[in-house]
Amino acid sequence: MMFDFFWNLGSFIVALSILVAVHEYGHFWVARKAGVKVLRFSIGFGKPLFTWYDKMGTEYAISVIPLGGYVRMLDSRVDDVDENSIDKTLDSKSVYARMAVAAAGPAANFLFAIVALAIMYSVGVQNVKPVVGTVSESSIAQRAGILPGDALKRIGGEEVNSWQEVNFAVMSGLGEQRLEIKVVDANGQIAIRTLDVSNWKLDQKDVAPLASIGINPYRPDITTELAVIARDSAAERAQLQAQDVIVSFNQQGVTNWAHFVGLVQQAANQPSVLSVLRNGQEITLNVTPDGKELSDGQVIGYLGVVPKQKSWPEGYIETRQYGVFDSIVLGVQKTYALTALSFDMIGNLITGQVSVQNISGPVGIAVGAGDSVSYGLVAFLSFLALISVNLGVFNLLPLPMLDGGHLMYYLIELIRKKPVSEKTQELGYKLGAMMLLALTCFALFNDVSRL
């Protein structure tokens, strides 16, 4: 557990630092091109840990709190500026130049996502064929006639080749009346299934979009053979080993993995007897499952083991690798789709189609970063692209503390032919800061409740 914490924390800091550096460099680069003097470029907030200067006098800093960053520009409204430097201040530039500086941060995030995805596609993406495993009873999918063994080919107007693409396409159907899915059934016949999603909402905590409509992906059967023993777990203390095959738990024969999990969950903190088959011989071990408290107060037992899964059938896993030009085109298309989806999700949060319980914060991002690093370069690039797009979209929201808020003020200035008063801007910044703080606290609460 301690290793996982530091692994997730380190991955989070690396991922966030990359994305913040990209975002702030967008502001920095355009400001320099517009003739604005940049005083400081900081990754992180608070006291600087390391600083250095370039030949133009800009201070670069790595600061102690790695939760963002900023670019501080010369501005006569807050800085003492001599006559020789007045033309280098941000406020002396045209409205269009200031708008370009404000928009450059989000634009850099979108460009980074394109590059990250292009690299990912050129390296090669391994996908699991989207074949339905089971369909939940009385679900939207079951009423539409989706069957186990159906291979999903198109959702709405989007061709899908992986479960990630299926998830994004399904989420795009939020707020629609119907969603058409093209499938190839187990007999090789093409069919169109129409889902009635008129009353569909993502209003359940920790329930994936696919599961909420009743589709569960096909996965090879899980065996009762152990593959991984977690460190500092009840299983390790009981001296369980990888390749042990579960035979019985408290004298009850184990028929399958789900049965075994159920038995363990009922034995939280209770001394128990576990029989396993090891090297062809049955041995008995004493084990006390650890207790884990759920959000509803229920305590369940767990051992800290991962079972072995049977191999995937031939043809279910494919690796797609693209040339440079095709990778760039795909990067642009995917970034556009992610951006549109992010704006859709914001709209769905406002209308109530998506529950606010699905909002995630730094802890959720940290766990995602740690998981993606564990899966390798391609997964980490995909994660970085997704978070980069979300960061770009979030910063375009018309909140005074964000880039979108600055753009809103500049747009009002263009219409009114004069700047918004400093008093009004200051009030807006205070309200925006309060809203961002409340949103951050709410996201953190959601994150902690998931642990």
124's tokens: 């090669």
Round to whole Å and give the CA distance between 147 and 145. 6
Question: Catalytic pick from 24, 159, 165, 225?
Answer: 24
Report the DSSP beta bridge partners of residue 317: 128
User: Is 165 in the active site?
Assistant: no
> Cβ(139)–Cβ(199) under 8 Å?
no
Which 3-state string (H, E, C) describes the chain?
CHHHHHHHHHHHHHHHHHHHHHHHHHHHHHHHHCCCCEEEEEEEEEEEEEEEECCCCCEEEEEEEEEEEEEEECCCCCCCCCHHHHHHCHHHCCHHHHHHHHHHHHHHHHHHHHHHHHHHHHHCEEEECCEEEEECCCCHHHHHCCCCCCEEEEECCEECCCHHHHHHHHHCCCCCCEEEEEEECCCCCEEEEEEECCCCCECCCCCCHHHHHCEEECCCCEEEEEEEECCCCHHHHCCCCCCCEEEEECCEECCCHHHHHHHHHCCCCCCEEEEEEECCEEEEEEECCEEEECCCCCEEEECCEEEEECCCCCCCEEEECCCHHHHHHHHHHHHHHHHHHHHHHHHHHHHCCECHHHCCCHHHHHHHHHHHHHHCHHHHHHHHHHHHHHHHHHHCCCCCCCHHHHHHHHHHHHHHCCCCCHHHHHHHHHHHHHHHHHHHHHHHHHHHHHC
Whether residue 22 contacts residue 388, with contact meaning beta carbons closer than 8 Å, is answered with yes
Q: Would you state the structure tokens that stand for residue 44, as one six-digit string?
A: 């992180």
Q: How many whole angstroms separate alpha carbon 373 and alpha carbon 120?
A: 14
CA distances from 239 to 106, 225, 232, 260 (A): 52, 15, 11, 18
How far is residue 92 CA from its own chain's centroid? 39
Structure token pair of residue 278: 């090891």
Which active-site residues does the annotation give? Answer: 24
